[in-house]
Structure formats: structure tokens, C-alpha cells
């Protein structure tokens, strides 16, 4: 399997044993959403659980009192609930999927990135961390992440979620056009 950058094939991973159908995956996500609403009485979402993990990570740095009084973490104290199970399940599911499909590999600098920006691990990690911080900040400002808005909110036909989806895709197109422009 390879990706195409500027019309040139760039190796992007091993040919998998399983080719996941986007239609089947979409149906699976829909069924998972029904299960989440029906059993957990909660939509799919991951940023709240990730924020709770952040609060736990902040404990040794700023102390329990500071975390408990922080206006960001105060309304969502840590609990091992459905959101945390969903967070852990997402990571484990990705691992199992990559193992089953034969595409698992440890890679510090993906080939597509290396082709466009060079092989610096520090540069790659800096950009990945910065991008992750920006998207996490945006998700918390929007009141939900991609799974919360695009999947759960989209299924409920929430206008705010559809606006989020349009802005997310437009931002992705602009970002990729800028990052992978021809030199």
C-alpha cells in the first residue's frame, strides 16, 4: 500500500491481509452509536475522558487541590465510566485492527512525512504534539470531538454538529493543501 504525494507513490505501509470496507465500518459505527445511546445513555465521544486522564497526569505536577479547584477539570472529575472504557477500547481496537490486518509497525517518522519534510524525529514529534494540542483545544471549545460531533451529533441531525463537520473537512483540505503543496 502506498500514498501519493505530488503525483508520486510514496511507500506508506504493508499490504494488509484485510481490506476494511468503509460501508461495513460505517454500519458498525452506527450500531455502536445505538448501543452507546441505548445502554450507556451517552453519545460516542473521547475528549472528556482524555481530559480526565490529563487531570490525573497533572496531579503530581500541580497537586490534588489545584486540580480539584481548576475550572476546566472541576466539572468532570476522574471516573472509570463509559467514556474511559470507550477511550481504552478505541486504542485497543486500533491495535487489534492493525495486528489483524498485518499493517502494525512502529514508526517514528511516516514515509509520507519524510518525503515532504525530512526524517527529523524531533520535528515530526513537535508538529504532531502541536497539532494534537490545537485539535484538542478546538474540540473542547466546540463541546465535543470528531466522534462526539461528527458521529453522535451528526446522527441526531444537530445543526452545531453539521457545522462542525463542514468546518473540520474544510480545515483539513486547507491544511493538507498548505502542508503538501508543490515545492
The residue among 74 and 66 whose pLDDT is bigger is 66
Question: Quick check: pTM over 0.75?
Answer: no
Grid cell in block for residue 65: 487541590
Average pLDDT on 20-31 reads: 86
Q: How far is Cα of residue 178 from the mean position of the Cα atoms in its chain?
A: 21
What are the domain boundaries of the chain? 17-102, 120-183
Average pLDDT on 91-103 reads: 89
The residue among 140 and 150 whose pLDDT is bigger is 150
Contacts 24+ apart (CB under 8 A), 28-33: 29/151, 30/155, 33/151, 33/152, 33/155
Angle at 35 between CA 80 and CA 17, to 5 degrees: 90
Question: Alpha-carbon distance 68 to 74, whole Å?
Answer: 6
Per-residue confidence at 125, pLDDT binned at 50, 70, 90? very high
DSSP reduced 3-state for 101: helix
Cβ contact 44:32 at 8 Å = yes
- Pairing type for strands 2-5 and 8-11 reads antiparallel
Cβ contact 136:48 at 8 Å = no
pLDDT over 70 at 17, yes or no: no
What φ, ψ does residue 8 adopt, rounded to 5°? -115, 140
What φ, ψ does residue 84 adopt, rounded to 5°? -70, -40
Helix (H) or strand (E) holding 166: helix 159-179
Question: Alpha-carbon distance 127 to 113, whole Å?
Answer: 11
Amino acid at each position: 500500500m502506498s500514498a501519493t504525494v505530488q503525483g508520486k507513490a510514496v511507500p506508506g505501509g504493508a499490504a494488509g491481509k484485510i481490506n476494511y470496507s468503509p460501508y461495513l465500518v460505517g454500519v458498525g459505527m452506527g450500531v455502536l452509536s445505538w448501543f452507546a445511546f441505548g445502554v450507556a445513555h451517552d453519545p460516542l465521544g473521547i475528549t472528556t475522558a482524555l481530559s480526565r486522564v490529563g487531570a490525573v497526569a497533572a496531579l503530581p505536577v500541580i497537586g490534588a487541590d489545584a486540580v480539584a479547584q481548576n475550572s476546566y477539570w472541576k466539572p468532570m472529575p476522574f471516573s472509570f465510566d463509559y467514556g474511559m472504557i470507550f477511550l481504552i477500547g478505541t486504542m485497543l481496537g486500533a491495535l487489534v485492527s492493525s495486528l489483524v490486518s498485518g499493517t502494525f509497525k512502529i514508526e517514528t517518522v511516516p514515509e509520507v512525512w519524510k518525503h515532504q519534510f525530512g526524517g527529523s524525529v524531533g520535528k515530526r514529534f513537535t508538529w504532531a504534539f502541536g497539532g494534537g494540542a490545537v485539535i484538542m483545544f478546538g474540540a473542547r471549545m466546540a463541546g465535543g470531538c470528531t466522534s462526539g460531533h461528527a458521529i453522535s451529533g451528526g446522527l441526531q441531525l444537530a445543526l452545531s454538529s453539521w457545522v462542525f463537520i463542514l468546518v473540520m473537512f474544510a480545515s483539513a483540505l486547507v491544511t493538507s493543501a498548505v502542508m503538501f503543496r508543490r515545492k
